[in-house]
Amino acid sequence: MEILISLIPAIPLLGFLFLSLAGGRVPRKLAGFVGAGTVGISMILTFIVAFVFIGSLHHIKVWNVVLWEWIGAADMHANIAFSLDSLSLIFMFVITFVGFLIHVYSLEFMAKDEGFTRFFAYMNLFVGSMLILVMSDNLLLMYLGWEGVGLCSYLLIGFWYKDPANGRAARKAFIVTRVGDTAMIFGIFILFLNFHTLNTQELMYDASMNWVMGAPIATLTAALLLGGALGKSAQLPLQTWLPDAMAGPSPVSALIHAATMVTAGVYLIARTNVLFMLAPAVRSAVAVIGALTLLLAGFSALTQHDLKRILAYSTISQIGYMFLALGVGAWSAAVFHFMVHAFFKALLFLGAGIIILVLNQEHNIFRMGGLRKKMPAVFITFLAGSASLSALPLVTAGFYSKDQILWYAFSSDYGSVLLWVAGIVGALLTALYSFRMIFITFYGEAKTEPSFKPGKLMLVPVSILAILSVIGGFVELPDSLGNVHLFSDLLSNTLPPVVLANKGIPEYFFQILSAVIVLAGIYLAYIVYLKKPEASESFRKSGLHAFFEEGWGFDALYDTLFVRPVVWLSEIDKKDFTDIFNKGLAGIALLFNTLLVKTQNGKLRWYLMSLAIGITLILTYMLTR
């Protein structure tokens, strides 16, 4: 079993090695087979391991696999070692399963691309790094995976590197997340300095034993780790990179920027939940940041016209929900929403990828329209995804996961009415922008003709995800509806349960309220975007619309606050003393060079003459001395 566990991340990494070393020399069929196949094997192995793990859960809760010592110096020891518990198992399941579906989809999506092999090499490296991130038993190995996925994100955003704009988007993503990563590595340093170990379980145990609730050091460490999570998960104030990250191919957006990598922050906070419980201020900050982000991104999603950017802001907003859940101590609710979100958001990105491909790279939803009859299969799956995203009551998975978060935002010991209000306004926005997307893209008159019919390799993964977006929520039903707790029971082996405060309002009241809000949002979208498009016209022309569309001006703010001062300083730095000195040296050398070059004129007799004169002078000097 230990070998099986260590093979799960190893096989995609081997696939990466093979594809990158073989380069363009392997035939496309083999490259595609290796690229998707390695992730498929990982998925099967994950299923086997999960099956055995859940079977033996009653007597062992964590499986540790130590492969070898990675770094050993003085009292610092970092192992290449994996630790399997229910939290990492759920992440592994999503990474390999959704990852495999996306790889299969990419076989057709990328079929005509010249970088086919390179694409699958990067994707395999990503899956391997992400698995290392969630499986590692120490923070350093986790950081390796953390940076590995960041690198793959950079490589894949800039995948079509011939367009300089894509390169800029890739660098922006890399640099902005690096701000958070720097904070995170400092957090890891503090933990190591205090406890002289990097093992996550030991660290959490030591922290709970040695640090008192609200201690400054605990607050500082949790805040630094939160910084890393904010960068990776595109939360306020480091959210600006994700909308631009849509420059990458759609499968990349689905896998990295929706389903897995951007939720690494959620994983980090859930994994170090002990630390966040010791720092109530930071824990509350997580909830507030989540609530603010989900509102902010919701408004921005409502005003975008690029299909993928709508989904990008929607992803930021949904991760905001996860942070809200983490902040109120509802750890398993956050992870549950992560899983459901991975299903429906991957589905939506893959669907958007098909639409964009079929319409010859048309991203603007206002130039789509009427696709319902032209692409019925895409329409039905996209509708399922959007319904799940907007949490359509009772029938979709999104309802059960989001409803749980909203309920805990209010009823948890750390919850409050304000957080709940933010969540419910966010739910209204979500319904509004999801169905705005549906109505504008699929209804109305057709504006662009589809160029071909999508094939099975793209439609089958999308259909599987559509089914899961609908039924995936039935593993966790609230007390008032069915009372099924398979998911939170599994997670209760790793994560502490949510602490409820009795606030005297029953759960079903909130469920009915949120159901009404969602339905109202969908109806509003129907009225404003389909029935009477002129009703939203004045808003579309307003300055507020432009402000939301630009993502609340964060790009401009960071440009004036950071980018311009740095550029200004480097301009000054170019003219300082050492630069003048060095440039002067180069200038003198150049002057002599131009003088000497004049003597090198190619005239044979000129050379002879100078030779004769030179010899005469030397002889004269020597003889008359």
Partner 1 sequence: MLTVPVQIQILLAGILFFLGLIGLLVRRNIIFMLMSVEIMFNSAGLVFIIAGSHWMQPDGQVMFIFILTVAAVEVAIGLALILQLYHHFKTLDADAIDKLKDKI
Interacting residue with partner 1 among 165, 535, 612, 617 (CB under 8 A):
612
C-alpha to C-alpha distances, 594 to 110, 270, 589, 603, nearest whole angstrom: 54, 67, 9, 18
CB 500 within 8 A of CB 492: no
CB of 589 to partner 1, least distance (A): 15
Q: Give the residue with the Cβ less far from partner 1, 483 or 601.
A: 601
CB of 596 to partner 1, least distance (A): 8
Of the candidates 355, 406, 362, the one whose C-alpha atom is nearest the C-alpha of residue 385 is 355
Q: Give the residue with the Cβ less far from partner 1, 538 or 594.
A: 594
Q: Give the residue with the Cβ less far from partner 1, 508 or 606.
A: 606
Q: Give the residue with the Cβ less far from partner 1, 539 or 607.
A: 607
- Helix (H), strand (E), coil (C) string for 450-495: CCCCCCHHHHHHHHHHHHHHHHHHHHEECCCCCCEEHHHHHHCCCC
CB of 598 to partner 1, least distance (A): 6
CB 111 within 8 A of CB 251: no
CB of 584 to partner 1, least distance (A): 22
CB of 614 to partner 1, least distance (A): 13
622 binds partner 1 (CB under 8 A): no
CB 283 within 8 A of CB 329: yes
CB of 594 to partner 1, least distance (A): 7
Q: Give the residue with the Cβ less far from partner 1, 512 or 612.
A: 612
Kindly write out the interface string for residues 529-548 of this chain, putting x where it contacts partner 1 by CB under 8 A and - elsewhere: --------------------
CB of 309 to partner 1, least distance (A): 52
Site residues for partner 1, window 379-398 (CB under 8 A)?
none
Rounded-to-integer distance, Cα 473 and Cα 395, Å: 9
CB 384 within 8 A of CB 492: no
Q: Give the residue with the Cβ less far from partner 1, 572 or 623.
A: 623
CB of 260 to partner 1, least distance (A): 57
Q: Give the residue with the Cβ less far from partner 1, 59 or 603.
A: 603
Q: Give the residue with the Cβ less far from partner 1, 563 or 612.
A: 612
Interacting residue with partner 1 among 281, 591, 608, 619 (CB under 8 A):
608
Q: Give the residue with the Cβ less far from partner 1, 212 or 589.
A: 589
Q: How many CB atoms lie within 10 A of CB 195?
A: 18
Token pair in block for residue 59: 């007597």
Q: How many CB atoms lie within 10 A of CB 161?
A: 12
Q: What is residue 71's three-state secondary structure?
A: strand
Which contiguous run of DSSP H or E holds residue 81? strand 76-84
Interacting residue with partner 1 among 111, 471, 609, 619 (CB under 8 A):
609
CB of 621 to partner 1, least distance (A): 19
CB of 608 to partner 1, least distance (A): 6
Residue 617, Cβ density class (10 Å: 0-12 exposed, 13-18 middle, ≥19 buried): exposed
Q: Give the residue with the Cβ less far from partner 1, 557 or 612.
A: 612
- DSSP-derived secondary structure letter, 526: I
Site residues for partner 1, window 150-179 (CB under 8 A)?
none
Residues in the interface with partner 1 (CB under 8 A) total 12
Token pair in block for residue 481: 């509806």
CB of 126 to partner 1, least distance (A): 51
Q: What is the dihedral of CA 119, 125, 129, 130, to 10 degrees?
A: 40
Q: DSSP for 392-436?
A: -TTTSHHHHHHHHHHHHHHHBTT--HHHHHHHHHHHHHHHHHHHH
CB 145 within 8 A of CB 249: no
Q: Give the residue with the Cβ less far from partner 1, 580 or 609.
A: 609
- DSSP-derived secondary structure letter, 496: P
CB of 619 to partner 1, least distance (A): 12
Q: Give the residue with the Cβ less far from partner 1, 55 or 602.
A: 602
Rounded-to-integer distance, Cα 148 and Cα 134, Å: 12
Site residues for partner 1, window 577-606 (CB under 8 A)?
594, 597-598, 600-605
| Rg from Cα positions in the chain | 29
CB 401 within 8 A of CB 473: yes
The contact set with partner 1 (CB under 8 A) reads: 594, 597-598, 600-605, 608-609, 612
